[in-house]
Amino acid sequence: MAGTFPHPSRRSFLKTGLIGTLALATAGGIYRALQPSAPPARFTLDEKARSALTAIAPVMVGNIDAAPAERDRAVSLVGDAIAGLPLTTQKEIQDLFALLTLGPTRRFLAGVPDEWEKARPEDVTAFLQSWRHSRIGLLQTAYHALHDLIIGPWYADASNWASIGYPGPLKELR
């Protein structure tokens, strides 16, 4: 029959796929090689990252009923902690918050259906636990990064010590 195409064999299909993959990888490598690498810039929390932290921090520290001022202070403490990190680490944190604040990834990867401002504590808790116990190492790493970014500055702040019954360092060590 005129105008019909033969069915490609499995071997020719795999060869075409491999050649296409190599071509894309080569083009990507050339593109990256020709682009000047910009030094990492300082990361400051934007409004979307702040709203994510405002929802995540109270759940992480176990203070779900925190007043808005307490939530703002927790976000500020995290922002200060990020500012003290190396630029390459700040870039990784920026990537993490970009992932958390992008609608599709927030829904499908974090499992939080609503914007962070409307996120229910149960959804945030489920998201944190799913990342904490994930079989995917990258999600576990992201959970631990969030944990350390929130818990470290929170408990380093002397104003939070009384709530956990910590009297502060021994007078001899001050």
Domain containing residue 125: 47-159
170 belongs to a structural domain:
no
Task: Work out the pLDDT band at 83, boundaries 50, 70, 90.
Answer: very high
103 belongs to a structural domain:
yes
112 belongs to a structural domain:
yes
What DSSP assignment string belongs to 36-96? PPPPPPP----HHHHHHHHHHHHHHHT-TT--HHHHHHHHHHHHHHHHTS-HHHHHHHHHH
Q: How many domains does the chain have?
A: 1
pLDDT at 31: 64
Give the tens place of pLDDT for each residue, 140-170: 999 999 999 999 999 899 988 888 888 888 8
For the ranges 19-23, 28-32, 59-63, the lowest mean pLDDT is seen at 28-32
